[in-house]
Every structure is written in structure tokens, then in C-alpha cells.
Chains A and B, each alone.
Chain A
């Protein structure tokens, strides 16, 4: 079955550490996205990529970094510069330049300990 897989489901980070969240899709979608969701809030766009080896900052990119070396993969690194990283992180994919309907992963819950 085609889909989008995020791992791990739960992640704990110590102060000052960088952590990387994985997002893999086998839908042959060109575009991939990372959103952050805080409790009781909507989704805020962190980074997005419309094509391999290219990505753009979203509304809250500070303290995050991404890479898009393969069409199937769009990992997100939460760096130590992100001062309030505890949140639910959602990855999504879609047909390029269409945004007709995103397919979402099941999310990674990141907690700072």
C-alpha cells in the first residue's frame, strides 16, 4: 500500500541536542512538507520541498533544517537553536504545484527532557 511513514512515533531530546525526524513516502509525490502542531493549535509550516534538491522555508523555519536528496525522503532536523521544540510534528506529501490534497504521516511527538 502506498503511504507516508514517519519515525519514530515518540522522541525525547535533551537540552542542546540535535534530533532528526524521518519522513518517507512511496506515493511518487514530488512535494513534501513539514508542519508543527502545538496543543489545541492548528498546523504551522516549517519547510517544504517541491522537487528533489530544493526546499523553501515556511513560516517558522528558525531552529530547523531539512534535506531533500531523494524523492522519497524529507528528514527534518530539530537543532539546539530551536528553543521550544516540544510539539507534534507532521509530514505530508502531495503532487507538485497542486496542493490538491495532502497525504499525512501519523506524526512524531517530540518532547524535551
Chain B
């Protein structure tokens, strides 16, 4: 079964609005990562948050991690039409800074930003 489950499955917003995507997972993690995929392309790494971190920023991206609830959120602020893509969370299973060396991906959220 999938480690990560994402919510919502699809999100449609207008340019300039914020987009929030959520990810829940089941077991202990070493880190959690977010990736973006444009249609028919490979995935691109966006941001990584370690299990001992609670919040991280990168440009217009803000990621939070709540290990007690086993959940993470990705916020894209001031969205643009070019942000239209699928977004995946991925968990690096492990504990205490030790990675099992492989990622498990969620089902993804399809984000559509209308001009």
C-alpha cells in the first residue's frame, strides 16, 4: 500500500491565489520531500524537510511537517499559470537520521492554475 496519501486529488485555483496540498504518511520517516511533475515528464525535486524540522521555505514554497500527526503540507503562494502540474510527496523511510535509501511516493495532487 502507498505510504503517502495526498489531499486533495485535484485543485483548481486562479492566478495569484495560494495553493495548499496535504500529505499523510503511516510510519516513521527520515525526511519528506515534495516533487513536481509536468504532464508526460519526469519529476523535479522541489524541497526536502527532515524529521526534526517543522517548517521550511524555498521561494514561493512553504512546507510544514507534523511528525505527531504524520502529515505535511505544501503551500504555493501567489500561484502562476506555470505552476500547473502534479505535485507528489515522497517519504524517505527510516529513523534517527538513518535512511533506508529509497523513496515511497504518494498518489499526487493535480494543480491547475487558471490565468
Whether A and B are associated in the same complex: the answer reads: yes
With a CB–CB cut-off of 8 A, which chain B residues contact A81?
A: none
Are the CB atoms of B42 and A43 closer together than 8 Å? no
Are the CB atoms of A99 and B41 closer together than 8 Å? no
Binds A, one of B14-22, B73-81, B103-111: B103-111
Are the CB atoms of A107 and B101 closer together than 8 Å? no
Report the Cα distance A91→B108, complex, angstroms.
Answer: 18
Are the CB atoms of B45 and A101 closer together than 8 Å? yes
Are the CB atoms of A102 and B45 closer together than 8 Å? yes
**CB within 8 Å for A103 and B102 given contacts A41-B107, A42-B2, A42-B108:** no
Is there a chain B Cβ closer than 8 Å to A70's Cβ?
Answer: no
One digit per residue, 1 when the CB lies within 8 angstroms of any chain B CB and 0 when it does not, for chain A 34-54 equals 010000011111001010000
Are the CB atoms of A99 and B42 closer together than 8 Å? no
With a CB–CB cut-off of 8 A, which chain A residues contact B33?
A: 101
CB < 8 Å neighbour of A98 from B4, B44, B99, B106: B99
Report the Cα distance A15→B45, complex, angstroms.
Answer: 35
CB < 8 Å neighbour of A97 from B2, B42, B99, B107: B99
Is there a chain B Cβ closer than 8 Å to A90's Cβ?
Answer: yes
Q: Chain A: residues with CB nearer than 8 A to chain B?
A: 6, 31, 33, 35, 41-45, 48, 50, 58, 88, 90, 92, 96-107, 109
**CB within 8 Å for A99 and B40 given contacts A42-B2, A42-B88, A43-B88:** no
Are the CB atoms of A42 and B105 closer together than 8 Å? yes
Report the Cα distance A107→B101, complex, angstroms.
Answer: 21
A-B contact pairs, 6 of them (CB 8 A): A43-B105, A92-B43, A98-B101, A99-B31, A104-B42, A105-B42
**CB within 8 Å for A102 and B43 given contacts A42-B106, A43-B105, A48-B102:** yes
Is there a chain A Cβ closer than 8 Å to B30's Cβ?
Answer: yes
Report the Cα distance A50→B101, complex, angstroms.
Answer: 8
Are the CB atoms of A96 and B108 closer together than 8 Å? no
Are the CB atoms of B88 and A100 closer together than 8 Å? no
